[in-house]
Amino acid sequence: MQRLRKLPRTSRILRLSGFSSVKNHAHMYCESMMEGHALLLCEFDDTVLRYTTQPFTINYTLFNRKRRYTPDILIKLRSGAYKSVEVKPFDKLQSEKNQHKFQILQSLFPKEIGHELTLLSDRDIYIGEQFNNYQALYPYRRHPLTKDENRVFLSIPSILTFKQLSDFRGSSFITAMRLVAHSSLSWDVFSPLNSESILKKK
């Protein structure tokens, strides 16, 4: 999958909003704010190697009419597998038309495209404080960790609180945020990230 700075010619989707991707080193175009929020989750998902948006368009038949469909995201996983993703509000996915549409598409994708089509709704994106945490951490992910930050990581205990990490010798609040943002430590992403958050070295 090629990392694209513009939409492929096969896609007829208009560029309506954008997301600056650290993982892809590129500006990704998407149709809605919720799609941009889904991309933020991709940035923090360690199983995702890279991704692109509105990658291709396929033909299918619905209610005896030929139609075209473009998935919102194409993801390449670290395992080497691919998956396409449709991002849509949960209530819209529940409509009779969309249920029939995506039943057809999810059956079609493995046979025609060679990988699955996954449906992602607001109920998957906005779980607890996950999105708010990632939004706060993302600016700290934009640059690689420094040698000093890596030295701090090697010196800290295997389990500590966010405050203990911030107060650790040679560390700071910014260092703590960057270590968490770069997924050096595991923690409960669905709870608010604060001074009492328990962090564990991976």
Reported as a single tens digit per residue, the pLDDT across 152-201 is 999 999 999 999 999 999 999 999 999 999 999 999 999 999 999 999 99
30: burial class by Cβ within 10 Å (0-12, 13-18, 19+)?
Answer: buried
Phi first, then psi: give them for residue 67, nearest 5 degrees: -135, 170
Per-residue confidence band for 16, with pLDDT thresholds at 50, 70 and 90: low
> Can you name the residues that pair with 145 across neighbouring β-strands?
none
Amino acid at position 62, single letter = L
Per-residue confidence band for 1, with pLDDT thresholds at 50, 70 and 90: very low
- Residue 5: CB atoms within 10 Å: 11
Reported as a single tens digit per residue, the pLDDT across 37-62 is 999 999 999 999 999 999 999 999 98
Name all domains of the chain by residue range, CATH numbers in brackets.
17-125 (3.40.1350.10), 130-201 (no CATH)
Q: Is the pLDDT of residue 8 over 60?
A: no
pLDDT of residue 150: 97
